[in-house]
Amino acid sequence: MEAAQLPADALPAGWSSGGAGAGDPESAQRKAQQEQQEQERRKQILDQIMTVEARLRLSNIAMVKPDKARRVEEMLIHAATSGKLGGKVTEDQFIQMLEQVSSQMEKKTKVTIKRKTYFDEQDSDDNDDDMM
């Protein structure tokens, strides 16, 4: 049975019954609208919980490192919704949160060099007496 013959509610979420490659313009428009509403909601929450200076710093960081800014935003929104913030987040508090996120995101690379041994393990002294 093809997807076009299935009822619309039988299809998994995100699948369309229009056939291969056929995109539903209404669903794409709905998705874009939902994303825009989510951005507006985030902006409103952040405006309520941050001072102007902290918000400005966040917007500057978002231009350079959007993934880091997104993590800090999520951290701030979570703290606000769980009631952990006592008032508006100042620039100094924001910098502390930013440092915390930076340390979490920091990639730690460790280089280990293993050297091959070319001599027998029994010949632990390397005085080259056996070569003369």
Q: What is the CATH number of the domain that holds 57?
A: 1.10.8.140
In a domain, 28, yes or no: no
Give tens-digit pLDDT for 15-65.
555 544 446 788 889 999 999 999 899 889 888 999 999 999 999 999 999
Entry pTM: 0.56
pLDDT band at 131 (very low <50, low <70, confident <90, very high): low
In a domain, 96, yes or no: yes
In a domain, 8, yes or no: no
In a domain, 66, yes or no: yes
In a domain, 89, yes or no: yes
Sign of CA dihedral 56, 60, 65, 66: positive
The DSSP secondary structure of 53-119, one letter per residue, reads: HHHHHHHHHHHH-HHHHHHHHHHHHHHHHTT---SPBPHHHHHHHHHHHHHHHPPP------PPP-S
Query: How many structural domains compose the chain?
Result: 1
In a domain, 67, yes or no: yes
pLDDT at 104: 79
Domain of 97 in residue numbering reads as: 51-105
pLDDT band at 108 (very low <50, low <70, confident <90, very high): low
In a domain, 117, yes or no: no
pLDDT at 2: 46
In a domain, 85, yes or no: yes
